[in-house]
Chain A
Amino acid sequence: MIVGRTTGERNPWSTRFWFSFTAAMLVLVVLVPVLNRYVAPDSAFAVPDYLVPLLGKYLCYAMLALSLDLVWGYAGILSLGHGAFFALGGYCMGMYLMRQIGTRGVYGNPLLPDFMVFLDWKELPWFWWGFDHFAYAMLMVMLVPGLLAFVFGWLAFRSRVTGVYLSIITQAMTYALMLAFFRNDMGFGGNNGLTDFKDIAGFELQQPATRLGLYVASAIGLGIAFLLCRFITVSKLGRVLLALRDAESRVRFLGYSATNAKLFVFTVSAVLAGIAGALYVPQIGIINPSEFSPENSIELAIWVSVGGRGTLSGAMLGAGLVNLAKTWLTSAAPEIWLFFLGGLFVLTTLLFPRGIVGILGQLRLIRSRRTMPGAPPLAVDEPEAAKERA
């Protein structure tokens, strides 16, 4: 994927970029596994087994954050229902894992998952067909969220639903899905969800090696997702998206279809979120309707804004740091976690609208200004309000 200079600006695929990317991937894909497998557990450098799925979880969150950043940071679509795409991908994976249990369930039914036997169902509902095949399930992981996003986006963007209204209906969407998945007769295990998984593609989920494999798969998935998002955002389409965020109707008057451009990124983004969810579920061991809860999607928006929306690295960084804080705080002082999260959001919105990456960028700029007088001006802040007459 060698893409030449496109804007007369810096080459987005410079050697320096590939160098940093490769270095980051080596740390995630090679260093961590080596520290886990080949370093004595009592060494200070060892990555203990229990940490591996936790790291894997962060990587899935980072991928989810990337997907939201693509639509929010670049196209200005604040989806507050992105958790739904993540959960749907997770459910598709969960259905595959359920079918892998086979006769090892409590009721030993070779065809029906335990909860269906419990509900006294006699046959597998049609939408569970095919999920015993890995390839089919993986296809669904992408297809189900993608299709939902496509239909939802087509309806919303075609009728020009934007801004706060769009955010509200995406919240409504994930909330409606949550209520639906809570129902036992939906056929997805009701409020218990899907759990008690045994193995994936023949590998036992309890084995540390399998967990490490899932972690590595998440790291590679994240790397690919990042490259894909970068490819989109540095393309001319990426600039059309940024322009949309600035002045949507102006983009239309230039002859671009704002509807199609948004629909494209929204669908791609939902597919990425779905894949992230599918990687997440086997590492966590359960998927239940609370994954659809509106709070999850809001929290996701906070990760992205803390890290710095409109920068892909910011989104990933935000997901990692906020979740690190969450893991630590929810065990150290669970009662203050929500206040912390809310405070963090208010703080970044008011003081650091460009997030951590924005702060780092400003610092670097100040430093370079001291050394070279002809440095570019400080970046202008995004004008959120529509520029044209409403």
Chain B
Amino acid sequence: MTPSPAPHPPPEVLLYLDGVNVSFDGFKALNDLSLVVEEGELRTIIGPNGAGKTTMMDVVTGKTRPDSGAVFFRGSADLTRLDEAQIANLGIGRKFQRPTVFENLTVFENLELALADSRGTWRTLFARMALEQRERIQATLTRIGLAPHSRKPAGALSHGQKQWLEIGMLLIHDRQLLLLDEPVAGMTDRETEATAELILGLARDRTIVVVEHDMAFVRSLGAKVTVLHEGAVLAEGSVEHVQNHPRVIEVYLGR
């Protein structure tokens, strides 16, 4: 419609998966998957069970090494050559599909370990918490609604609270890219709404990729949607676009 030359610089690519293949005993979990996520974007990824959504996150975070293909972050080094800790320290955080918090540590201590601070073994041995860090933990506790449970062992939290703690562990550390695997699974409607708000708030100053099955939640995020199917992208676009896409209806939404 507007023929004028682009006033904005081209958006920066933050994450780029290039022809990634992963197979488990001959089963192709990711099939030549290519995906581009731009800086500052909020992206939702949907797809049937076994589509490869979690596997995609495993590849990005270094948990699974692909058989072939490459993953670029900020156009820098190929992530497939780094290990989990190195990738995390580049600024990529992850929330797992099953909430995993450190059950024997208190809620406070879980957040302490997530603080942006030196990760070196020697440094952690002599680390002392600064007042400013303590305040940051308190602020995060308030934000995720767990302030009253600060001294409880994380194992004693409810499922939803664990999800929130895990999100809290991501947001206490200013990471550039967050990968959230089914953040509202097992949450009540109220909790789901609150989580959507939290994510929208977070998305203002970082890039987020959310995997979710809950279509109401996906709609409430109102972001660009990628549909994965059998390890590859089936469709991509706005929520309306994918909801009206015949193949998507056939393999996923229609059922």
A residues with CB within 8 A of B: 3-4, 6-9, 232, 235-237, 239-240, 242-243, 245-247, 249-258, 260-261, 264, 376-377, 379-380, 382-383, 387-389
CB of A164, distance to nearest CB on chain B (Å): 21
- Chain B interface residue count, CB cutoff 8 Å, equals 44
Determine whether the beta carbon of B85 is less than 8 Å from that of A255: yes
A258 / chain B contacts, CB cutoff of 8 Å: 85
User: Which of B63, B88, B113, B137 meets A239, CB within 8 Å?
Assistant: B113
CB of A67, distance to nearest CB on chain B (Å): 17
A8-B150, A236-B127, A240-B113 known, 11 other contacts, Cβ within 8 Å: A9-B151, A235-B125, A237-B121, A239-B105, A243-B102, A246-B105, A247-B102, A253-B63, A257-B120, A376-B152, A377-B152
B143: CB under 8 A from chain A? no
> Chain A: which residue is nearest B99 at the CB level?
A387
User: Which of B105, B119, B125 meets A255, CB within 8 Å?
Assistant: B119
B109: CB under 8 A from chain A? yes
**CA separation between A386 and B228, bound complex, in Å?**
28
Contacts A9-B151, A249-B84 given; indicate if A237 touches B103 (C-beta within 8 A).
no
**CA separation between A9 and B98, bound complex, in Å?**
28
B189: CB under 8 A from chain A? no
7 contacts between A and B (CB under 8 A): A250-B102, A254-B169, A261-B124, A376-B152, A387-B100, A388-B100, A389-B97
A264 / chain B contacts, CB cutoff of 8 Å: 121-122, 125
Determine whether the beta carbon of A380 is less than 8 Å from that of B100: no
Determine whether the beta carbon of A387 is less than 8 Å from that of B124: no
A245 / chain B contacts, CB cutoff of 8 Å: 104
Determine whether the beta carbon of A7 is less than 8 Å from that of B106: yes
CB of A270, distance to nearest CB on chain B (Å): 16
> Chain B: which residue is nearest A379 at the CB level?
B153
**CA separation between A232 and B125, bound complex, in Å?**
6
Residues of B contacting A: mostly = mixed
**CA separation between A8 and B129, bound complex, in Å?**
9
**CA separation between A9 and B153, bound complex, in Å?**
12
Determine whether the beta carbon of B125 is less than 8 Å from that of A7: no
Determine whether the beta carbon of B84 is less than 8 Å from that of A7: no
Please provide the chain B residues from 43 to 102 with a CB less than 8 Å away from any CB of chain A in the complex.
54, 61, 63, 83-85, 88-89, 93-94, 96-98, 100-102
Determine whether the beta carbon of A257 is less than 8 Å from that of B98: no
A379 / chain B contacts, CB cutoff of 8 Å: 153
CB of B37, distance to nearest CB on chain A (Å): 18
CB of A315, distance to nearest CB on chain B (Å): 17
Determine whether the beta carbon of A237 is less than 8 Å from that of B125: yes
Contacts A7-B109, A237-B125, A246-B105 given; indicate if A254 touches B100 (C-beta within 8 A).
no
A387 / chain B contacts, CB cutoff of 8 Å: 98, 100, 103
Determine whether the beta carbon of B98 is less than 8 Å from that of A377: no
Residue of B104, B127, B150, B169 ringed by the most chain A CB atoms within 10 A: B104
Contacts A236-B124, A261-B121, A380-B156 given; indicate if A256 touches B98 (C-beta within 8 A).
no
B8: CB under 8 A from chain A? no
Determine whether the beta carbon of B88 is less than 8 Å from that of A252: yes
B164: CB under 8 A from chain A? no
B155: CB under 8 A from chain A? yes
B128: CB under 8 A from chain A? yes
**CA separation between A350 and B120, bound complex, in Å?**
37
> Chain A: which residue is nearest B97 at the CB level?
A389
CB of B167, distance to nearest CB on chain A (Å): 14
B114: CB under 8 A from chain A? yes
